[in-house]
Amino acid sequence: MFSNKLDRLIWRRHRKLMAVIGGITLLGTVMMTLILLHTLKQISGSDIQIVSGSIHKWQVYRGSYFTAYSWWLIFAFWLGGLEIMHLDLRDHFNEFLFSSGFSRLKVYWAKLRIALGTLLGMSVVIIAIQYLLYWLSKPAGTTFTLAWPGLITSWAMGLAISIGMFSLSWFAALIVGQTGSLIVTISGFTFSLVGLSGIGGNILSGSWLKVSKAALPWVGAGTWLVSAVVLFIWGAALYQHLSLEHNGEYLLFPRLRVPVYIVFVVYVTWLYSYDADGMTMAVAFILAALFGYGWLWRPRLGEKWHQWRESKQAKE
């Protein structure tokens, strides 16, 4: 299947979990499809179009009964990035890779290549199964008509978001060394993107930048792809300096602590106080600063308080 030994090694290591991700995604997509098909069966009448006419336009297709690019696929990419980067750290496969005789850069790009390649292949298969299911199970009296403009646009946009999501979880898993904290961090950040996309849309379509509504999704897709490329290249640089004595610590690169803190405080303050008054901004800033400090430095405040109380009692 793979011509070189490194690719074979990485595939051997991750094939089972990739299959699990594929299985979950397929199950989720099939379930969603069956639910939508069931809904269609409940609707009385005939000549119902499962796919609306907007599929003929060069825009992302959004319909009530059909999704051209399943959200489950975006989830699969997100999970795939997390899996392939974090599990090698957690299960100590990095130790083996780092002394395998392949340069770290080669290892990094091979992992990325195999993960993205597998996820892309998985997407093609799952999309094909999803469409086939619609085709075979469509209720009597309904029609299922597809058109390239809507499909290609939806796929392109879906892939851009998927690759962006992959890069986020991949990069987070590269710099965070604790499983639970990593999941909380990346989940929190991913959910915050909903708010960010709203604010970003307002800024882009505002009076200053004046980006048209039709162009907004493309700017979004471009932003995802550029961010992904930046994170992949930055990740490659960091991966070469990954020293495994930090395994199990929140940040695998202690020098990133202050930059991460600054970015976190600025991002959270901005997200919560965008378009708000000065007081809201001040409160958001203080809360973000305190939470960020507690999260990144993990001061043992409780322990210190007990020590202080005990020493005070001893003196008395």
Partner 1 sequence: MTLSVAGLSKEIGGRQIIQEITFEWAPGEILGLVGRNGVGKTTLFRSMMHHYVPEAGHVTVDGQDIQQVPSRQQQLFFIDTQYNFLSNYRLWELPDFFKAVYPRFDEQRFTALLAEFKLDRNSQYRRLSKGMRALVNLVLALTSNATYIILDEPFDGLDVIVRENIASMVIDEVADQQKGFLISSHDLNELDGLSDRVLLLKDSKLVRDYNLEDIRAKAKKIQLVLNDRVIPTVLKEHSQLIRVSGRVLVVVITDYTPEIDRALKDLNPVLFEELPLTLEDLFRANLAHETGYQLMK
Task: State which residue, 98 or 295, has the beta carbon closest to partner 1.
Answer: 98
Quick check: 100 binds partner 1 (CB under 8 A)?
yes
Binding to partner 1 by residue 305, rule CB under 8 A? Answer: no
Please say whether the beta carbons of 168 and 74 come within 8 A: no
Give the nearer residue to partner 1 in terms of CB position, either 67 or 88.
Answer: 88
User: Among 93, 144, 261, 285, which residue interacts with partner 1 (rule: CB under 8 A)?
Assistant: 93
By CB under 8 A, is residue 92 in contact with partner 1?
yes
- In the set 31, 34, 95, 195, which binds partner 1 (CB under 8 A)? 95
- Which tokens is 89 given? 């750290």
Q: Is 175 in the site for partner 1 (CB under 8 A)?
A: no
109 binds partner 1 per the rule CB under 8 A:
no
Q: Which x/- pattern, by CB under 8 A, does the window 228-267 give for partner 1?
A: -------------xxxxx-x--------------------
Shortest CB 174 distance to partner 1, Å: 15
Binding site for partner 1 (CB under 8 A): 5-6, 8-9, 12-13, 91-96, 98-103, 106, 241-245, 247
